[in-house]
């Protein structure tokens, strides 16, 4: 296929959430991997809850509130400096190894590339810059514009508005199964990057293709 643009989810798709484990360990989390998994789960739950409540708090705020919940849940007490340091670790999460090579190859094929993220745009921009991949993308689209979170269709519409095309002309790539379902429901051509080898979602909106790693997306453009 030759899409009008390829749009990527950010956290968990381009950037490794599990890289937060080192920061969690540094502040004394007894099981850093489990701590990060709980933190991420609560962060996403809060986005869904607020969207259903027709309320909005930015992603950085929800990340900190999810951190507070996770600390209480796992019995970890942080002073103000440690809390701030751990919350800010989201600004330096590292890309997966296959991300930069894949984006460079796609750029050589003159396909417009963008990120569509729940994150605060300034924070997403910084994380992409820290990871050395911002210059490989044409744009960073954030839910801040519509003040609601994925999988609300208004979020996905940001991509069709940006690139001036119908949904089926966008190839959307996400490692989050619920995000892939939401994007497919909106009408995107969806490639689910199933890095973790999880079962497929059963909402009734399957992806066009399931990838094992990000660079598998290159075969779609062959």
Return the domain boundaries, the chain: 5-16+93-221, 17-92
Q: How far apart are the first and last CA of the chain?
A: 8
**Under CATH, domain 5-16+93-221 is a member of which superfamily?**
HAD superfamily/HAD-like (3.40.50.1000)
* Cross-strand partners of 171: 6, 189
Quote the percentage of the chain above a pLDDT of 70: 100
pTM for this prediction? 0.96
Output the CATH code of domain 17-92. Answer: 1.10.150.240
Specify whether 9 is catalytic.
yes
Neighbours of 26 (CB within 10 A): 13
Mean pLDDT of 52-78: 97
pLDDT in tens, 160-212: 999 999 999 999 999 999 999 999 999 999 999 999 999 999 999 999 999 99
Mean pLDDT, all residues of the chain: 96
* Contact predicate 187/168, CB 8 Å: yes
């Amino acid at each position: 296929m030759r899409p009008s643009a390829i749009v990527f989810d950010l956290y968990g798709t381009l950037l490794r959430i599990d890289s937060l484990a080192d920061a969690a360990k540094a502040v004394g989390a007894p099981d850093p991997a489990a701590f990060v998994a709980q933190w991420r789960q609560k962060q996403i739950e809060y986005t869904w809850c607020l969207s259903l409540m027709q309320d909005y708090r930015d992603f950085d705020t929800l990340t900190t509130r999810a951190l507070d919940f996770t600390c209480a849940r796992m019995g970890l007490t942080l002073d103000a400096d440690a809390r701030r340091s751990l919350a800010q670790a989201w600004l330096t999460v590292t890309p997966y190894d296959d991300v930069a090579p894949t984006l460079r190859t796609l750029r050589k094929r003159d396909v417009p590339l963008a990120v569509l993220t729940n994150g605060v745009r300034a924070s997403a921009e910084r994380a992409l810059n820290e990871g050395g991949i911002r210059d490989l993308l044409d744009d960073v689209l954030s839910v801040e514009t519509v003040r609601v979170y994925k999988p609300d269709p208004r979020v996905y519409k940001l991509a069709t508005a940006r690139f001036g095309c119908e949904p089926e002309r966008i190839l959307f790539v996400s490692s989050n199964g619920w995000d892939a379902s939401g994007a497919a429901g909106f009408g995107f051509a969806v490639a689910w990057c199933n890095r973790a080898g999880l079962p497929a979602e059963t909402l009734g909106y399957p992806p066009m293709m399931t990838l094992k790693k990000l660079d598998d997306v290159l075969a779609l453009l062959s």
